[in-house]
Amino acid sequence: MKKVVDVSFPIGPVHPCWKEPVRLKCETKGEKVLQAEVELGYMKKGIERIMRGRPWQEVMFLAERVCGICSVIHNMVFIEGMEAMSGIPVPPRAAYLRVIANELDRIQSHLLANFSYCYTIEHETLGMYLLNVREKAMDLLERLTGARVNKAYMIPGGVRFDLQAEDHVIISSTLDQIEPDIMRYTRMFSEGPLIGLRSRGIGILSEVHAREAHAVGPTARASGIRTDLRTQHPTYQKIGFSPVVRTEGDNFARVMVRFQEVAESIGIIRRCLDGLPEGLIRSGGVCGAGTITHRGEAPRGELTYYLKADEYGRIVDISIQTPSIMNIEASAHYMIIGATSLADVTSTFISADPCIACTER
Amino acid sequence: MSLLQRVKNVVRSRSIHVCFVDVGSCNGCDIEVLATLAPRYDIEQYGIYVHNNPREADILLVIGAMTPQWEDKLPALWERIPEPKAAIAIGNCPISGCVFQRRDTYVSAPVAKFIPVAAEVPGCPPRPTEILSAILSLAPTVFKDFEERRR
């Protein structure tokens, strides 16, 4: 059969909607997307090659520079992997402070992802509201860890800074301010008729396809897959929480899962602050030899570190699997196919929250 | 100074279009550039408009440590920006390569090897206020009396 229109439509690498360079090549017929292909490699820095042969003190700082948006979880998974390998105990207070830092990071990451989505569907008002709330979460992170983006808060055997009494008050009062705002913006998003037209029923990822593409994180949870590695983390089990799962699988569901997870994270931080144990924040320990595969739930999904260290704590071998690559695969091969407008291609791709710096390292 | 030049000076002082390009960073500086859009810092109150179209831009913010993919693409992108133009290096990566400039790396910092860099904002990452003040302090030196100086 002869094709009437067959255009390969490239999007990127420099594109107004995309924070990072990535190229998406769409085979289109009219405006209907028949198939799409992702071209990666614009940000390959070879960070795993740099890490090999260096002591853990250096790799710890390199690990959080794998990704600037979710730097806390990279630090956390690497440090917890080193601890599990060498049998270093963590004081209960430090374990709780780690959860607080991680959840604050999740809040700011999810708000940034939802800002990007709102910006892409050209609802700039809601996007700016979200970016403004995010600044409050960044302030709390700065108060707790001393830096805005690359924090290096966790070290083997504890954390670097304690939570002072006045910080305790400021964090809970700021959370009280943030929560009604988040509720309001969630309602704006879920009830907005124009947002609904651009989001509901677009970029559908069914549960079968999500499993085939190995989707993780909010993308998988929006398609009805109940997967959250935080349920297996000992500190989170103590605090108690339930993963957010939706079943629609469209752009709307993915953004709403992130909104609901922000509310969930605020609850987790509150419970942490209420039950914060007294005591040491650093207990010390020596990093030794071993091999381990350690996992953690990043804002975008499952993050895996494979570590191999020698007896002096030097990293002999390391390999990182970040969540975005699976979500990009799901996005390019399942969600975008059949999109009836090219404007939906960018918004669908952004709704999976691709982090190219993570993916390529 | 001609009348036309005076008008151009007035207009250009309150209308700066910014394009940012990531040539291989950890994303930390990207989100700090995005944070300048937030109503707290409010980059648009100074007449700076951030969008990613190099053909309309006046100032190029370069983020990242120069991966091999960008070695031919960044000079091509720089060519597309109309005069007068300036490039600002945001963060340690485009200045020195930061943590990525080590043995076995793929990056080839600094960015100044490939395009002329007018200003540098060090930091890993710099604060949004620093990015904002760098753009604001650079703009008059580049755009004021541009046509008369070139003559």
Is residue A330 within 8 Å of A215, Cβ to Cβ?
A: yes
Euclidean distance between CA atoms A55 and A339, whole angstroms:
48
Contacts of A46 in chain B (CB under 8 A): 100, 104-107
Choose the closest CB to A357 out of B26, B104, B106.
B26
Strand duo A301-309 + A290-298: pairing: antiparallel
The half-sphere exposure of A336 on its side-chain side, counting CA atoms within 13 A, is: 30
Which regions in chain A score pLDDT beneath 50? Answer: 1-2, 4
Contacts of B96 in chain A (CB under 8 A): none
Rg of chain A over Cα atoms, rounded to whole angstroms, equals 21
CB contact under 8 A, B105 and A71: no
CB contact under 8 A, A357 and B25: yes
Shortest Cα distance from B94 to chain A (angstroms)? 13
Residue B139 in this model has a pLDDT that exceeds 60: yes
pLDDT of res. A111: 92
Euclidean distance between CA atoms B19 and B77, whole angstroms:
11
Shortest Cα distance from B91 to chain A (angstroms)? 12
* Domain B12-142 falls under CATH 3.40.30.10: no
> DSSP secondary-structure letter at B60?
E
pLDDT of res. A183: 92
End-to-end CA distance of chain A: 43
Please calculate the CA angle B117-B120-B122 and round it to the nearest 5 degrees: 150
B9 pLDDT band, cuts 50/70/90, is: confident
Shortest Cα distance from A193 to chain B (angstroms)? 25
Please tell me the pTM assigned to this model.
Answer: 0.90
Euclidean distance between CA atoms A47 and A65, whole angstroms:
9
Nearest CA in chain B to A58: B99
Nearest CA in chain B to A20: B22
CB contact under 8 A, B31 and A358: no
Would you call B37 an interface residue with chain A, using a CB distance cutoff of 8 Å? yes
Span A55-327: which CATH code? 1.10.645.10
CB contact under 8 A, A135 and B77: no
Beta-strand runs (E) in chain B: 16-22, 48-50, 59-63, 86-90, 119-121
pLDDT tens track for A318-351: 999 888 888 888 888 888 887 888 888 888 888 8
